[in-house]
Amino acid sequence: MNYLDYLTTGFSAAWKDAGDRWTKAKAGIPGGAYTADMWVKDALAVWLKTVRPLWNVWAVGMDVEVPVVGFNVTYGDAGKKQAFAAILPPFGTLPPVLMTDLLMMGGAQKVPGGVDATAKVTDCVLEVDLKNLGALPIGNYQGAVYLAGAVNRMIALVHLVIT
């Protein structure tokens, strides 16, 4: 995915949201259920969703959406699992892409079993690989993928569910 594809995807989500809000407004106006306050709220929400893809390009937005990379694994399945997410890396040379240890949700310690969690970015695609999951007990786990060095910015959350 290149920058143009990213912007197109971001704007298409904003247009869909604008269309949904327009449809609700049209339905509420005749009966008086759609107020001026609602219009202001909708106008601001659409504006924010429209400019967010531009803010993300330069990483200056305070409310940058972070993708969640999800895994659903059956207990005892030790095979390699992969998931992908579209991200927008910073311009220039990509800093190292690192991933934190997986933690059990609600816990603070590293999970046992020698889980191998790695992440890499190719163009604008984040790839997260998880290996050696067979020893993990049933539960929910979390981790984060981030850009190291001077950037030091989280680019994705990892959520693993073992059932």
Tens-place pLDDT, residues 2-18: 555 556 666 777 788 88
Please tell me the predicted confidence (pLDDT) of residue 61.
Answer: 44
Please tell me the predicted confidence (pLDDT) of residue 64.
Answer: 57
DSSP strands (E only) in the chain? 68-73, 81-86, 97-99, 103-104, 116-122, 125-131, 139-147, 153-162
Pairwise pLDDT comparison (30 vs 111), residue with the higher score: 30
Which amino acid makes up residue 55?
A: W
* Average pLDDT of every residue of the chain: 78
Closest C-alpha among 78, 144, 83, 154 to residue 114: 78
Quickly count: other Cβ atoms within 10 Å of residue 144's Cβ.
17
**pLDDT higher than threshold 50 for residue 84:** yes
Please tell me the predicted confidence (pLDDT) of residue 23.
Answer: 92
Contacts of 102 (CB under 8 A, 6+ apart): 110, 111, 115, 117, 130, 141, 142, 143, 158, 160
Contacts of 34 (CB under 8 A, 6+ apart): 24, 25, 27, 28
**pLDDT higher than threshold 70 for residue 63:** no
User: For the purposes of burial, counting CB atoms within 10 Å of the CB of 48, is it exposed (0-12), middle (13-18) or buried (19 or more)?
Assistant: middle
How much of the chain, in percent, has pLDDT values that exceed 70?
75
Pairwise pLDDT comparison (52 vs 73), residue with the higher score: 73
Whether residue 90 contacts residue 151, with contact meaning beta carbons closer than 8 Å, is answered with yes
Report DSSP state, residue 110. Answer: B
Please tell me the predicted confidence (pLDDT) of residue 13.
Answer: 72
Average pLDDT rounded to a whole number, residues 100-109: 75
